[in-house]
Structure 1
Amino acid sequence: MPSLPSLVRRNRGARNHRRTPAAPVAESAYMVDCGVYVDGARLPGNWTHAAAIEEVRRRDSGFVWIGLHEPDETQLGVLAETFGLHELAVEDAVHAHQRPKLERYDSTLFMVLKTVRYIANEKLTANSEIVESGELMAFVGRDFVITVRHGKHAGLAAVRKQLEADPEQLALGPAAVLHGISDYVVDSYLEVTEAIQDDIDEMEAAVFAPRTKIEAEQIYLMKREVMELRRAVMPLAKPLQRLAEGYTPAVPEQVRSYFRNVEDHLTTVSERVASFDELLTTLVDATLAKITLQQNTDMRKISAWVAIISTPTMIAGIYGMNFETMPELQWAFGYPVTLLVMMIACVVLFKIFRRNRWL
């Protein structure tokens, strides 16, 4: 992929200091959007990252919000040099696969959030995926927000549009953007848990319904996907708590209350995920018990039929030896009487086993 300077071109017309709007520039494949916000309103025009931060710092007001999608080390390094991002945070943002966390490098916050998406499946198989995960990283400074997204889902266009429709909220600065992103991610957790709840309810009904067949592997698969969701949800509690408690002056008091609300929603999600894990464990035990009971029932049926069949087999085996001194060999009614005895023995055994519910 070409480097940032070749993909994000500078304005064709040189910018002056009379607040001339930036001329349109081509967006790169990884830079999704770059906006300048002053007093909660977005300034018109398209901006490069350098021109945007220059405009904000010249005004000494507002902030820049840059959205990136899976940039490589070189591409993010260009922004890191302009905005003074720490190299360790840049490395985490490029390579992804991080746990949700919140770190502070001088005056810059670096937050990692896991994104999730529910995937509906008509039938679960070993290769089925129910919860698809991705990652969102946010660099938050005094006058900028840089979001880095990994994964095909969880785009932030809706979040940006919602915030732009509320200038009063957006005027609170970069911390308001971080809250909007956190709220969006946690709301997606709620949606995923509701969908998973429906799947687990169907599984529970199938497990305890008579004469239904559900394999333990399907429940194990659901349990594995719930663990994927758990890894996204549980570690996020501490970062949100720190933001709500005033971990950094970058988050003003007006925004902290919003983070407390997000923390409450995350607690609801955490409780649901914990209940899912316990319920699925119970369903696994119930399924295994049901399988064991079914196997015992099958073995009783097999044993009953073996007993029924063994009786005529024994009689036929004895009279098949053809010894000359055996009784009734020369009797004219020996054959029909033997068949009648076999039939009566089988019927009697069948009724005994049926009365005892073996058949």
Structure 2
Amino acid sequence: MINAYSANGSLKTLAPADALRQLSPDVVWIDLLEPTSREDSYVEGLLGVPIPTREDMKDIEPSSRLYIEGGSVFMTASLVAGADGPNPGLTDVAFILTGNRLVTVRYASPKSFRLFIDAFGRANETMDHATTLLARLLETIADRTAEILEQAADGIDKMSTDIFLNRGKRRPPQFLEGKLAEIAQFHRLVGKVRDSLNSLSRLLTFLSNTPSMCQSQTDDTLCRTVAHDIETLSEHATFVAGNIAFLLDASLGLINVEQNAIIKIFSIASVVFLPPTLVASIYGMNFQFMPELGWQLGYPLAILGMLLSAIIPFFFFRWKGWL
């Protein structure tokens, strides 16, 4: 799909079947969402610049993701997609500055793009420059990334409360094991956010040194502000990742404590019942000469001995605080 946006936010969807051979001068943004090879060729014909394919955007070499060719600036960043769902991931998005137009190529729909498109038409300022548009789009991406981190931090804080502050409440035996899966989900999400922030940091460093951005003091200042925000978010993401690591270690420790408590119960039970078993085993022997077998009170005394041999260790363990 090819969406063309003018400076006032109006949208026009283009298709290769259109007879259009030249874009209107007021078109400042062309957004390609899951483009086909035919749509790529169509846009290349309109703009005269190569459009990166999905395979091109997956290249991890900085020289293949950030470069200037023929006066056009090509940049690729990894953005978080599906952060509100059960399977968050990264999607590569290409940003191309060519002339006074911004071209984006993406094969997913991060929420930051939807938020920016919704606010594009309501913006007070007229974004008739591609650099201004890109700077505002990157600002929206940074804001959305901050929102993802805040949601993750809130979820981790709530989980910490469930694990530690509500220990006195009755919980199912598999409660902590279930929390491990949630911790792993948060770990995956924050890991994707950190990868995305690193990618955006490299892109903004490269962008701030390009001739296109240096021509506008306002856009350059905004770009550097967003870069500072990205740096701050990276530090916060590291802090959140540390909290997740602590929560994981603490949960595993609590699981070990609960398992040890169960093993301790069985160990104490075996020690308590071992002396009575010994007494019963002795008097269960079939020897001919056992004086106690002839006693009239032999059986009650044997029962009493077994009870005392069980009760004494039990109270000894209670006195020691092992129960």
- TM-score (structure 1 length as normaliser): 0.75
Measure, in 2, the Cα distance between the counterparts of 1:286 and 1:42. Answer: 50
Matched, 1:243 2:207: yes
Deviation at 1:97, TM superposition (A): 4.0
The one-letter code of the counterpart of 2:152 is I
List runs of 5+ in structure 1 lacking aligned partners: 1-29, 57-61, 121-127
Measure, in 1, the Cα distance between the counterparts of 2:188 and 2:241. Answer: 9
The residue that corresponds to 1:165 in the other structure is 122
Matched, 1:116 2:81: yes
Q: Alignment partner of 1:195: what SS? A: helix
Deviation at 1:50, TM superposition (A): 7.4
Measure, in 2, the Cα distance between the counterparts of 1:108 and 1:50. Answer: 25
Residues 207 and 157 (structure 1), Cα distance of their counterparts in 2 relative to 1, 3 Å cut: closer
Q: Alignment partner of 1:140: what SS? A: strand
Measure, in 1, the Cα distance between the counterparts of 2:194 and 2:154. Answer: 17
Deviation at 1:208, TM superposition (A): 3.0
Identity of aligned residues (%): 23
Residues 35 and 169 (structure 1), Cα distance of their counterparts in 2 relative to 1, 3 Å cut: closer
The residue that corresponds to 1:105 in the other structure is 69
Deviation at 1:320, TM superposition (A): 0.5
Residues 188 and 98 (structure 1), Cα distance of their counterparts in 2 relative to 1, 3 Å cut: farther
Matched, 1:190 2:146: yes
Name the one with the larger helix percent: 2
The residue that corresponds to 1:282 in the other structure is 246
RMSD: 2.9
Contact 1:115 1:136 in 2 (8 A): no
The residue that corresponds to 1:91 in the other structure is 53
The residue that corresponds to 1:148 in the other structure is 105
Q: Alignment partner of 2:311: what SS? A: helix
The residue that corresponds to 1:177 in the other structure is 133
Q: Alignment partner of 2:52: what SS? A: helix
Measure, in 2, the Cα distance between the counterparts of 1:351 and 1:76. Answer: 82
The residue that corresponds to 2:217 in the other structure is 253
Contact 1:52 1:64 in 2 (8 A): no
Measure, in 2, the Cα distance between the counterparts of 1:328 and 1:167. Answer: 104
Deviation at 1:182, TM superposition (A): 0.8
Residues 301 and 102 (structure 1), Cα distance of their counterparts in 2 relative to 1, 3 Å cut: same
- TM-superposition CA deviations, 1:33-58 (whole Å, max 9, x none): 22344xxx4689877787484442xx
The residue that corresponds to 1:296 in the other structure is 260
Q: Alignment partner of 2:205: what SS? A: helix
Matched, 1:204 2:125: no
The one-letter code of the counterpart of 1:90 is P
Measure, in 2, the Cα distance between the counterparts of 1:50 and 1:264. Answer: 44
Contact 2:112 2:140 in 1 (8 A): no
The one-letter code of the counterpart of 1:115 is V
List runs of 5+ in structure 2 lacking aligned partners: none
Contact 1:138 1:147 in 2 (8 A): yes
Residues 162 and 223 (structure 1), Cα distance of their counterparts in 2 relative to 1, 3 Å cut: closer
Residues 78 and 51 (structure 1), Cα distance of their counterparts in 2 relative to 1, 3 Å cut: closer
Measure, in 2, the Cα distance between the counterparts of 1:163 and 1:44. Answer: 10
Measure, in 1, the Cα distance between the counterparts of 2:110 and 2:141. Answer: 11
Output aligned runs, 1:70-81, within 5 Å.
70-81=34-45
Contact 1:53 1:63 in 2 (8 A): no
Residues 276 and 36 (structure 1), Cα distance of their counterparts in 2 relative to 1, 3 Å cut: closer
The residue that corresponds to 1:214 in the other structure is 176
The residue that corresponds to 1:25 in the other structure is none
The one-letter code of the counterpart of 1:248 is P
Deviation at 1:321, TM superposition (A): 0.6
Measure, in 2, the Cα distance between the counterparts of 1:67 and 1:339. Answer: 88
